[in-house]
Amino acid sequence: MHKLYDRDGHQNLFFHDLCEGAAVQANQHVIVDHGEAMLLDPGGHKVYTKLFAELASLVPPSGLKHLFFSHQDPDIVAAANGWLMVTEATAHVSKLWTRFIPHFGIDAFAVDRMIGIEDGGGKLAVGSGQVKFLPAHFLHSSGNIQVYDCVSKILYSGDLGAAVGPEYAFVEDFEAHARHMRGFHQRYMPTSRAIRAWARMVRGLDIETIAPQHGAMFVGKEMVGRFIDWVESLECGIELLEELYQVPD
């Protein structure tokens, strides 16, 4: 478990190494404010058992009030039913996915606790703090939301900022780290047009840390700025389409 913030009854924690085997590395983030917790992008069944045990040392299951799914991918929602069964938490996800995620098997009594986030985002109280749901559509999913924690000023960026490969939890050498992000963003992010719209939006926020769902954290305003500048200038997705469309030999 790593800490991103711990002050005045408010904590931002994450788990970096609960995935194993063929499953892609993923971070599970938790916001705790005065005994109330929000779990972000909790992941699949293999992670579920370990994460549940880890969380129990932080808050009782009754303290887990909110689940957040940035989008509909299996590394995020596969264990949604488990979390809804053992807690009374409300799950928040883009309204585009509320009728698709039940295909993972959500029990009837729990399905009403899955709340659709409007395309424009929204706000939510967590303990005495507040988070904002930010629109981040097409980064990479068509219904994609990020979370900004108003207390710690951490932006949870989901798959944006993801790196696959390196095992460290915090970025120290940005240039070296960018090499691990490039291929992922070029193939999973559909268009830089969405990235540029995102960059315009988040430059209006006071951000101390960018915390992605895969790979390492960008801590401090300088590192945050470097990431935004880097990702904004990256060509990706449909801009590289011609390279993809070749008849195999």
List contacts with Fe ion (CB under 5 A): 73, 75, 159, 213
What minimum distance in Å lies between the beta carbon of 71 and Fe ion? 6
What minimum distance in Å lies between the beta carbon of 213 and Fe ion? 5
Question: Which residue number, 82 or 215, has a Cβ lying nearer to Fe ion?
Answer: 215
Question: Which residue number, 151 or 217, has a Cβ lying nearer to Fe ion?
Answer: 217
The full DSSP string for 121-187 is: -EEEEETTEEEEEEE-TTSSSSS-EEEEETTTTEEEEETTT---S---SB-S-HHHHHHHHHHHHHH
Question: Which residue number, 33 or 73, has a Cβ lying nearer to Fe ion?
Answer: 73
Which of helix, strand or coil describes residue 26? coil
Phi, psi for 211 (deg, rounded to 5): -120, 100
Q: What is the C-alpha separation between 195 and 230, in angstroms, rounded? A: 10
What minimum distance in Å lies between the beta carbon of 24 and Fe ion? 7
Among residues 81, 51, 89, 75, the alpha carbon closest in space to that of 140 is found at 75
What minimum distance in Å lies between the beta carbon of 22 and Fe ion? 15
- 57 within 8 A of 38, measured Cβ to Cβ: no
Question: Which residue number, 101 or 151, has a Cβ lying nearer to Fe ion?
Answer: 101
What minimum distance in Å lies between the beta carbon of 51 and Fe ion? 15
| Residue of minimal Cβ distance to Fe ion | 73
Amino acid at 183: G
Q: What is the C-alpha separation between 117 and 124, in angstroms, rounded? A: 11
Question: Which residue number, 33 or 75, has a Cβ lying nearer to Fe ion?
Answer: 75
